[in-house]
Amino acid sequence: MRPALLAIFAVLLLGSVAPLIEIGGLHATIQHALEAFLGRKVDLGKVYLTLFSGPGLSVKDVVIHEDPRYGLEPFAYVPTLAARVRLDKLLFGQLRFSSLRLEDATVNLAKKNDQTWNVVELVERLSGPRRTPLNLFPAVELSDARINFKFGVRKTTLYIADSDLAIYPERSGKLYVQFSGSPARTDRAGNGFGHFRGTANWYINSPGPSANQLEADVNLDPSNLSELTTLFEGHDIGIHGTVSSHLRIQGPASALRIAGDVRLEDVHRWDLLPMSGEEWWIRCQGKLDLATHQFQLRTVPSRKAEATPVAFEMHVNNFLTQPAWSVFATLKEAPLEDLLPLGRRMGLALPQDLAMKGMLNGVVGYSNRSGLAGAVSVRDAAAALPDTPPLRVAAAYVTLSPDRIHFDPATVETSAGGDLEASGDYYVSNRRMQAVLKAGEFPLNALKSTVGAWLEMPGAIAALRGGLVSGECTYAHELATLDTGTPAVPSWAGQMDVANATLDAPGLAFPLKRFNGHVAFDGPVLKVSRFSATLGDQPIYGSYQYNPSAKRTERIHLEMPSADLSELEAALDPALEAQNLLARLRFTRRAIPSWMAIRNLEGDLRIDRFSIDRNSLGPFSSHFIWQGSNLRFPSVQLNLPEGLIRAHGTLSLASYTPRSRFVAKVAGFPWAGGLLNAEGELETTGVNGDSLHNLHAAGNFTANGVVLSSDDEFDKISGLFDFSYVDDWPKLKISDLVATRDDGDWNGAAASESNGKLVIDLEHDGQQLHLISSLVPESSGARPSLTSSTAPQ
């Protein structure tokens, strides 16, 4: 028992000490054996013995030089080479290896211009003639190696990291290979992109050109899809998810056949959330040419003769140098509803509760060199949102280019009558969508209900209802701006003719009916030209313009054949009357409506026949500026049947009741056989009858050729006037009255009475003159009915 323990102890001691013993004397012998085996010059560092894993050597800092035909850079750098020797040969004084293990090596696989690989020639050395005894050549293993690829003198950006490779030669000339590794790029940090593993049989001595040279079983472990696209493209193309596969490869090296399946999970665009739990199992077939670095893969049905609505095909050229790859999807009667989830995850702006039906036919492809391309036809398409009528299109055509998906014009079928055509574009890079609508005498309400459920309608159309619309408009929306990543504000542009519609305008008590006009809009800019409508019972014509960047954001021009002041005040009731109860009771100030607070309007109003209390006064015109709760009237003109009134002033709507102040001039007003001119200031509060009862005016006047009685005619009369209402009766007072005639100036005063008569008292050189005149202008050619009395002072 004790001798056995001593023997075991001796073996353990020897095995532990052996790796510390350098055997420089065998340096040349080992170098010669390795060079004979590899067919290349080899440089060795220090050499140590190993015993635990069998008789062997541990060689440090090994450099395996390259065959000069493939370049000057060494074939491999090996920090540690573990070599096991064959005891049967060692007993006869020969140094032969049973296995070579290259640990943490860096290997350069090079290819000459004649398409031959250095590794192929090297591996062929592992296979001897069929008569060679079994296991004559050693097994070769790589552990945690890095494998580079070279073409001539240029090294590719692609390499294999963390590679484990084992090659076991057989007497038949077959090499059994086990491999695993992670593809990586020199221009990207990280340990690799995905991970693959597998086994292969490589027949060095193939019986014929069509016989199998390679039989491989390859597995791609679940890997990030974006990492694999980065591997070939050099950057993340924005498609994320998980991919795994199992492929069987066999055939000649230049025409390898591929069969297997691919599994895709949670495919989505980089900035969108994945659809957890969704996966696709895809059966596929393809070809691989190792000489020209070409790879093809296509999907096949799970059962023969089974129809496949969607078939994919992938082509990769030069996959080791400058990969050029493309993916094609062929659609044959593919149900549109089945592709909606994928479209959403690829970033298409689709409502979450959208339901679509239809059949797709065509081809869609994507290439890393040319981008997106293809053409698709849609048959019997229908799209619907909850509680909205569906949009139906019998046939539509879609073309795809690198950054754009274009929808050709298609007729939208509705039950509303009229014609409606839609087309559009979607730009992939900035997620910008654009839609074009063409309408021909299409019902406006149907347009709003049909299109408004999908797109936010422009303000010009949203304020209208009823009637028909004809024209074209364009909708644009950038769903994610480049600077902030947040959606931009949608915009509309177009021109449309509106017929027999109703317009709900802010600030008006009742809508404009029977509205007809031409509407043009571009973003926030709006122009309404040549419109006609009815305001209450009165027709109205005009034009309107809105431009938020202009000094006056709104401009309007209005013309009315006739209108009474009471009708205008009734139409403007929301602006003139305080709608809050406490403000109407004068307990608080009125609350300014939001539409009034932002109002910045400049306009013109013309009324051919203007009246007050149904008393026709003549043509009226005014230029006005409306800012918030204040209105300014730079000019107001009223052409009376006899005389002209010009004025300018302001109207304030900030209080519980409107307050106005004007400066006015009266010219050519007929009075007492002469013509009266006056100017002064007037102010009032309230609306309707209140504005007249609260009126107060003061100023001066002059009149020429005035006949106050049959005996009293004056060349000129002037004075100051003050007008107001007292106890609901109009009261006119005239002071500083001067009446001039041949006998000199008469001075005095005048005042009105409740019967509408004006009583005038004059004095000159001790004489008094008492006259009574009417305030109402007389008909042409009629003489005033006057009474007079003269008495000495």
Residue 376 has pLDDT above 80, yes or no: yes
Q: Which of 147, 127, 143 is nearest to 135 (CA)?
A: 127
Could you tell me which residue, 732 or 50, shows the higher pLDDT? 732
How far apart, in whole angstroms, are the C-alpha atoms of residue 320 and residue 150?
9
Residue predicted with more confidence, 116 or 176: 176
| pLDDT over threshold 80, residue 720 | yes
Is 50 exceeded by the pLDDT of residue 683?
yes
- Over residues 611-632, the mean pLDDT reads 91
pLDDT bin (cut points 50, 70, 90) of residue 210 is confident
Q: How far apart are CA 691 and CA 657, in angstroms?
A: 10
* Maximum Cα–Cα distance across the chain: 174
DSSP string computed for 253-278: TTSEEEEEEEEEEEEEETTS---TT-
The phi and psi torsions of 186 (rounded to 5 degrees) equal -70, -20
Residue 191's Cβ-count burial label (10 Å; 0-12, 13-18, 19+) is exposed
Higher pLDDT, 755 or 351: 755
Q: How confident is the model at residue 244 (pLDDT cuts 50, 70, 90)?
A: confident
Select the more confidently predicted residue: 477 or 243. Answer: 477
Which of 49-53, 406-410, 437-441, 570-574 has the least mean pLDDT? 49-53
Which position has the higher pLDDT, 614 or 11? Answer: 614
The residue written with tokens 């009667």 in the block is 333
- Cα(381)–Cα(600) distance, rounded to whole angstroms? 47
| 16 against 171, higher pLDDT | 171
Band the pLDDT of 583: cuts 50, 70, 90.
very low
Report pLDDT digits (tens) over 19-48: 545 565 677 888 888 888 788 899 988 888
Q: Report which residue type is found at 307.
A: A
- pLDDT number for residue 94: 61
Closest C-alpha to 125, from 79, 67, 78: 67
d(Cα 309, Cα 339) in Å, to the nearest integer? 11
Structure confidence by residue, pLDDT tens digits, 390-444: 788 889 999 989 888 899 999 988 777 788 999 999 887 777 889 999 999 999 9
If you average pLDDT over each of 252-256, 391-395, 499-503, 581-585, which comes out highest?
499-503
When pLDDT is cut at 50, 70 and 90, the band that residue 702 belongs to is very high
- Mean pLDDT in residue range 754-770: 86
**Candidate from 114-118, 271-275, 613-617 with smallest mean pLDDT:** 271-275
d(CA 504, CA 508): 8
Q: Residue 348: what pLDDT?
A: 56
Mean pLDDT of 483-500: 79
Q: What is the pLDDT of residues 272-303, one digit of tens each?
A: 555 555 666 778 888 888 777 788 888 888 77
Q: Determine the pLDDT at residue 566.
A: 86
1-15, 35-49, 699-713, 723-737: lowest mean pLDDT where? 1-15
Examine the pLDDT at 768 and tell me if it is beyond 80: yes
Tell me the pLDDT band of 18, cut-offs 50, 70 and 90. very low
pLDDT tens per residue, range 540-564: 999 999 999 999 999 999 999 999 9
User: What confidence score (pLDDT) does residue 788 get?
Assistant: 42
pLDDT at 409: 93
Q: Work out the pLDDT band at 389, boundaries 50, 70, 90.
A: confident
Please tell me whether residue 41 adopts helix, strand or coil conformation: coil
Residue 609, pLDDT above cutoff 90: yes
CA 271 – CA 321 distance, rounded (Å) = 30
CA distance 44 to 23: 12
Confidence of residue 231 (pLDDT cuts 50, 70, 90): low
The more confident residue out of 339 and 75 is 75
What span, in angstroms and rounded, lies between the C-alpha atoms of 692 and 689? 5
Rounded to whole angstroms, the Cα distance separating 85 from 91 reads 11
Share of the chain above pLDDT 70, in %: 79
Pairing status of strand 491-503 against strand 464-465 = antiparallel
pTM of the full predicted structure?
0.65
- Residue 134 vs residue 612, higher pLDDT: 612
What was the pLDDT predicted at 184? 79
pLDDT class of 52 with cuts at 50, 70, 90: low
pLDDT at residue number 737: 92
What are 447's strand-pairing partners?
Answer: none
What confidence tens digit (pLDDT) does each residue in 623-667 have?
999 999 899 999 999 998 888 999 999 999 888 788 999 999 999
- H or E element: which one contains 487? none
Mean pLDDT, rounded, of the chain: 80
| Distance (Å, whole) CA 229 – CA 158 | 13
- 416-446 residues labelled b (16+ CB within 10 A) or e (exposed): eebebebbbbbbbeebbbbbbbbbeebbbbb
- If you write DSSP's letter for every residue of 42-92 in order, what string do you get? EE---EEEE-TTSSEEEEEEEEEPPPGGG-SS-SEEEEEEEEEEPHHHHTT
Percentage of residues of the chain with pLDDT beyond 90? 24
Q: What is the pLDDT of residue 406?
A: 93
Average pLDDT on 239-243 reads 67
